[in-house]
Each structure stands twice: as C-alpha cells, then as structure tokens.
C-alpha cells in the first residue's frame, strides 16, 4: 500500500468504514438468526409433526404418539442426544443432516430448550 498521498488515508478511511459496516451487518444478521432463524426453521420443518409449541398437538403428532418436546423426558436429555436425533433421525423421525447445517441443528436444540415450561 502506498502512503505518499492523503488519498491513501481517505481510502483507508473508506475501507475501515466498509469493514465496520460489514461487521455490524454480520452481527445484526446473526442476532436475527438466533432470534428468528431457529423458530422459522422449526415451523417449516418440524411443526407438522411436533406442533408449533412442541406439544405434538397435530394430527401427525397424535398418530405418531409423540411426547411433547417441552416434557421432562425430552428436556432431561443432553444437547448432544437431541442433536443426534435431529441429525440422524430415529425410527419415524426423519434425519435432517442433509437438509440443515450443524449450526442450524444446534440452534434448533436451543429452540427446543426455549419450549420448556
Ligand atoms: C415426519 C414427522 C417428524 C418431523 C417432520 C420431525 N420429527 Fe422429530 N420426531 C418424530 C418422531 C416420530 C419422533 C420419535 C422418535 C422415537 O423416539 O421413536 C421424533 C423425535 C424427536 C426428538 C426426540 C424427542 C423424544 O421424545 O425423545 C426431537 C428432539 C425431535 N424429534 C426434534 C425434531 C426437530 C427439531 C425437527 C425439525 C427439524 C423434527 N423433529 C421433525 C417425528 C418427526
């Protein structure tokens, strides 16, 4: 980088502004993903069976005799166990490791924790 003109300084200023702007944008987007991403993914991919609030109060949920994701039986399982069930599936529970990233699955686990009564 040349340092022989004030132009260089201005450019650096612009570059810095861009950097700050992109950092802010990233922070904003990840905050948004934490707040809404997981519950949107949950609604789109899980709620048909598990119900919007995890209680499995849907036709499919009742047919499959699902227990509530808010129940102690589910909440007492460690994060890794829930993560594995979501990524690999279990019996009639489909696997999601081809459709969702590990980060998305982790935020779904956090979402399930937020369903606890
Ligand atoms: C096609 C219906 C269906 C969909 C869609 C579905 N599940 Fe499931 N899920 C099941 C069934 C059935 C079980 C029970 C599996 C078993 O224990 O035999 C289950 C079990 C689970 C469990 C373990 C609960 C327990 O009782 O121990 C978790 C956690 C879970 N699902 C999360 C999710 C998440 C998160 C999604 C969305 C990414 C999802 N499921 C989508 C049917 C579904």
Cα–Cα distance, 66 to 24 (Å, whole number): 41
* Inside any domain, residue 64: yes
Q: Is 94 helix (H, G, I), strand (E, B) or coil?
A: coil
Asked whether residue 12 is assigned to any structural domain, the reply reads no
Report the alpha-carbon distance of residue 57 to residue 66 in Å, rounded: 9
pTM: 0.78
* Residue nearest atom 13 of ligand 1, based on CA coordinates: 93
Instruction: Give residues (CB < 6 A) around ligand 1.
Output: 45-46, 48-50, 60, 64, 66-67, 69, 74, 82, 85-86, 90-94, 96, 108, 112
Domain presence at residue 20: no
CB atoms within 10 A of CB 95: 14
- Indicate whether 78 belongs to any domain: yes
Structure-model confidence comparison of residues 13 and 62, the more confident one: 62
Q: What is the pLDDT of residue 44?
A: 96
- End-to-end, the C-alpha distance of the chain in Å comes to 58
CA of 115 to the centre of ligand 1 (A): 14
Domain with 60 in it? 35-113
In a domain, 22, yes or no: no
Domain count, the chain: 1
- Per the listing, tokens 């950097």 go with 19
Q: Tens digits of per-residue pLDDT, 19-63? A: 888 877 777 766 655 555 899 999 999 999 999 999 999 999 999
């Amino acid at each position: 980088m040349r340092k022989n003109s004030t132009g260089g300084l201005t450019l650096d200023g612009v570059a810095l502004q861009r950097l700050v702007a992109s950092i802010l944008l990233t922070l904003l987007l990840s905050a948004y993903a934490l707040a809404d991403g997981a519950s949107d993914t949950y609604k789109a991919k899980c709620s048909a069976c598990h119900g919007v609030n995890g209680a499995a109060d849907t036709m499919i949920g009742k047919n499959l005799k699902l227990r509530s994701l808010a129940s102690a039986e589910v909440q007492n399982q460690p994060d890794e166990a829930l993560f594995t069930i979501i990524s690999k599936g279990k019996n009639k529970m489909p696997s999601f490791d081809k459709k969702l990233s590990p980060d998305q699955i982790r935020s779904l686990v956090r979402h399930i924790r937020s369903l606890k009564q």
